[in-house]
Structure 1
Amino acid sequence: MNQHLVALDIDGTLLGYDGGLSPAVRDAVATVQAAGHHVVLSSGRSLIAMAPVAELLGIATGWMVCSNGAVTVRLDPALPQGWELDEVRTFDPGPALRLLREELPDARYAVEDIGVGFRMNALFPEGELDGEHQLVDFEQLWSREVTRVVIRSPERTPEEFSAMAARIGLGDVTYAVGWTAWMDVAPKGVTKASGLERLRERLGVDPAATLAVGDGRNDVDMLRWAGRGVAMGHADDVVRAAADEVTGTVDEDGVVPVLLSLPR
């Protein structure tokens, strides 16, 4: 059997809008794992928010690409925490944060502390960020290098966010805009695709035997990277254009027929 690397986004792909996991999706993931393929959760979520999803799916061994590619984790139930950091890509967030605050003085800003939570200048709405939340002065957000910056500005549309980021010249970082007025900033050149390509080489998987499924703008590079990139049915035109095919929506468990199409 040709062993595949199967990269799966979480929110809007595996999990519904309410954060729920359907039995059909869980069973399809289990089928793919049992067939010997490498199932790799690949998300903008932090490690601390991805580990419970892996547990829900019954994924105890293997790999996860977290924080839009900045953090790669090896899962192993024999480890004290059930996981270990494999690669961490960091950057100095100061220049980007100072530029962004000039444009978005009232936005909420947070930086990730791996495996712990976030430091932030103002509390985010409950449930949006996992782990411990530490309130700090804005200047303390760049007291050390980080893997990820999160910016939330509810009054902005995703299109306004993208236009603003292009205008102010965030050239030394990589950024991805979410469904709502939410932007993730990562080290330059770091995406889900960069993290997955490193894993592909390490696992010895043929480039043609890579499958990725996602629904958001931060999945575009991943879908282009994959030998077979599949956009969820509710994805916007930008995401669809990056994919080789489109499946059903998350409400229709669109990821299921894609997973069950793999060789067993």
Structure 2
Amino acid sequence: MVSSGKGGRRMIRAVFFDIDGTLMPFGAPGIPESTQAALDALTLRGIDRVIATGRHTTEIDLLPIRDVPFDAWITLNGQLCYDGQGRIFFENPLTGPEGLLQLFHEKRIPVMLVEKDRMYINFVNEKVIAAQLDIATPVPEVGEYQGASIYQAIVYVTREEQAEMARRIGDKQITRWNDRAVDIVEKGASKVTGIEKYLALKGYRREETVAFGDGENDVEMLRYVHIGVAMGNARQTVKQAADRVTASAEEDGIMKGLHELGLI
């Protein structure tokens, strides 16, 4: 449980993991054997293992990782968080979603709305199909907004189209996870929001944390924790935000990274 890093040697109590491109290589049928062994070793050392993902639970239920136990699941970029028994310990729905709803009803660009138990899109085009294929997830069902709280929206726009979309939705947090799509949550919210709530729940300190990630929606998390580790397959901007860079998800990056930190 002891690791060296910025600030010297510390007792690490929790490690936070992104899913896509981190625990699960893109396009892989499951998590590598080395990654599963590393997770098991963390548990034997008494270190919490926690998911921190932009995904919804309905998406996670379609992935092989659904059968892997974790101490908590920080989903929807920290906006809906569950403990290991599936009980919600934090939720943060969007306020003032009128701009997003207008985009949704116009049906000019694809907009997915994410509720507590449901996620649906206004229409599907080639951009949606390609983005979902990139994360090995089925195309969402087409549906209508019926008045429930919205925790996250996914808007399928390119980097060039993002500025106009941002102008219309108001003061929200926009994080790109794909060249074709962005996540939208409350302004100032991110995976860190959920991590802070988990630390408060367990009585842990920020200095007792490590995180692994590869995407742009992992940057805040990697900067926040005591030691942020970027995967070898991460974008350069993500690597620059991290304290360390490990091997890629396909090349046993989780096992190697945890071993180098002295955690397993």
Residue among 20, 23, 32 paired with 2:42: 32
Residue 53 to residue 34, structure 1, CA distance change in 2 (3 Å): farther
- 1: CA distance between counterparts of 2:26 and 2:82? 25
- 2: CA distance between counterparts of 1:255 and 1:129? 23
Residue 161 to residue 192, structure 1, CA distance change in 2 (3 Å): farther
Residue 236 to residue 165, structure 1, CA distance change in 2 (3 Å): farther
> How many Å apart are 1:160 and its aligned residue?
2.1
Amino acid at match of 2:52: S
User: Does residue 6 of structure 1 match 2:15?
Assistant: yes
Amino acid at match of 1:180: D
Amino acid at match of 1:145: S
- Cα deviation code 1:69-95 (max 9, x no counterpart): 10001122xxxxxx1222211014222
Residue 170 to residue 64, structure 1, CA distance change in 2 (3 Å): same
Which residue of the partner structure matches residue 218 of structure 1? 217
Residue 101 to residue 19, structure 1, CA distance change in 2 (3 Å): farther
Contact in 2 for aligned 1:8/1:213 (Cα 8 Å): yes
Contact in 2 for aligned 1:161/1:177 (Cα 8 Å): no
Which residue of the partner structure matches residue 121 of structure 1? 122
Contact in 2 for aligned 1:48/1:131 (Cα 8 Å): no
Which residue of the partner structure matches residue 133 of structure 1? 141
Which residue of the partner structure matches residue 175 of structure 1? 174
Amino acid at match of 1:146: I
- 2: CA distance between counterparts of 1:169 and 1:106? 13
Which residue of the partner structure matches residue 114 of structure 2? 112
The 5 Å alignment of 1:29-68 reads 29-51=39-61, 52-56=63-67, 58-59=68-69, 62-68=71-77
Residue 48 to residue 100, structure 1, CA distance change in 2 (3 Å): closer
> How many Å apart are 1:173 and its aligned residue?
1.5
Residue among 150, 156, 159 paired with 2:154: 150
Q: TM-score, normalised by structure 2?
A: 0.81
- Structure 2: gaps spanning 5 or more residues: 2-10
- Structure 1: gaps spanning 5 or more residues: 77-82
Aligned residue pairs, count: 244
Residue 147 to residue 262, structure 1, CA distance change in 2 (3 Å): farther
Residue 164 to residue 178, structure 1, CA distance change in 2 (3 Å): farther
Q: TM-score, normalised by structure 1?
A: 0.81
- 2: CA distance between counterparts of 1:262 and 1:164? 46
> How many Å apart are 1:215 and its aligned residue?
0.5
Amino acid at match of 1:108: P
> How many Å apart are 1:259 and its aligned residue?
2.2
- 2: CA distance between counterparts of 1:180 and 1:26? 29
Amino acid at match of 1:96: L
- The residue matched to 2:141 in structure 1 has which SS? strand
Contact in 2 for aligned 1:48/1:130 (Cα 8 Å): no
- 2: CA distance between counterparts of 1:220 and 1:133? 30
- The residue matched to 1:12 in structure 2 has which SS? coil
- 1: CA distance between counterparts of 2:219 and 2:228? 9
Residue 237 to residue 263, structure 1, CA distance change in 2 (3 Å): closer
Residue 75 to residue 106, structure 1, CA distance change in 2 (3 Å): same
Which residue of the partner structure matches residue 79 of structure 1? none
- 2: CA distance between counterparts of 1:249 and 1:101? 40
Residue 29 to residue 221, structure 1, CA distance change in 2 (3 Å): same
- 1: CA distance between counterparts of 2:232 and 2:148? 40
